[in-house]
Amino acid sequence: MTEFASRGYAHPETLVSTEWVARHRDDPNVRIIESNEDPLVYSSGHVPGAAEVNWVRDLNDPINRDYLDRDGFTALMQRLGATADTTLVFYGDKSNWWACYAFWVFHLFGHNNSRVMDGGRLKWEFEGRELTIQEPQFTASDYRAAERDDEIIRIFRQQVMDHLLAGGRLVDVRSPAEFHGELLHMSDYPNEGAVRGGHIPTADNIPWARAVNPHDGTFKPGAELERIYRQENGLKPDDDVVVYCRIGERSSHTWFVLRYLLGFDKVRNYDGSWVEWGNLVGVPIER
């Protein structure tokens, strides 16, 4: 993990390399977790020893648009054979969109002993490392989860409105076409239900992908991230920042960048994001 200190990150300990994962994949104190957008990716081959956490099946309530509750998280951690002392390492497709999303959800329950594998699946495959279709089996743990805390790193629509009226900083991490209302969804993706296109007024458009190197999905060095977020867009580490996208997955990636790589004190993810805001009656929208 020391290799990331040289990149100028505020919290380099939150990242691990593919080499580190290869060395620790059989460590009983470590759980490697793959979380993808595409549910077929894991079964086609994954890091040996890695368990799957499916963002739909495992992290979301099947009825209400919300996350699993304390009992659900307890059951998930017990299935993973994880204890309060287990180090969780997340990785996945899409340059770690869903890995950062899962990392964020796990932090809602206070399991902060978590890391992200820099580069995700893309870098692991790019390096020609071993993949397996064998799913690991774990002895169930006696983990007991804390209540989910929605106050510190999560924000809801009325709070977003209050934040907007108070002049707080907002970062829209979607593509420029989505931001300007030309698209209601990502290119080549189905519309997920937004009736109106555009963005929340005063939001800065800083697409999530600017934070990563496209050839291997790794995070850019701290100096480059400083230039993008602070010098170009004027964000400051003591700002109260709200990030959003379409349903909270890309914005969780930017939340991770701001909070852990740049050391921002207060960053909240609006997981309702544009699917919610673009359907609300009477809220302001800009194009």
Given this model, what pLDDT does residue 190 score?
A: 63
User: Is there a catalytic annotation at residue 245?
Assistant: yes
171 and 115 share one domain: no
Specify if 189 maps to a domain: yes
Residue 191 exposure: Cα atoms within 13 Å on the Cβ side: 11
Which one from 245, 261, 262, 267 is the annotated catalytic residue? 245
Which CATH number goes with the domain that contains 11?
3.40.250.10
7 and 104 share one domain: yes
Chain segment 34-54, per-residue pLDDT in tens: 999 998 999 999 999 999 999
Q: Is 89 helix (H, G, I), strand (E, B) or coil?
A: strand
Specify if 282 maps to a domain: no
Given this model, what pLDDT does residue 1 score?
A: 46
Q: Are 258 and 266 in contact (CB under 8 A)?
A: no
22 and 117 share one domain: yes
Given this model, what pLDDT does residue 87 score?
A: 98
Give the domain extent around 238: 157-277
Q: Is 23 helix (H, G, I), strand (E, B) or coil?
A: helix
Q: Are 34 and 42 in contact (CB under 8 A)?
A: yes
Predicted structure pTM score = 0.96
The letter for the amino acid at 53 is V
Question: How far does Cα 216 stand from its chain's mean position?
Answer: 18
110 and 204 share one domain: no
Specify if 270 maps to a domain: yes
Q: Is 180 helix (H, G, I), strand (E, B) or coil?
A: coil
Specify if 283 maps to a domain: no
Specify if 139 maps to a domain: no
Specify if 286 maps to a domain: no
Specify if 65 maps to a domain: yes
Q: Across the strands, what pairs with 60?
A: 67
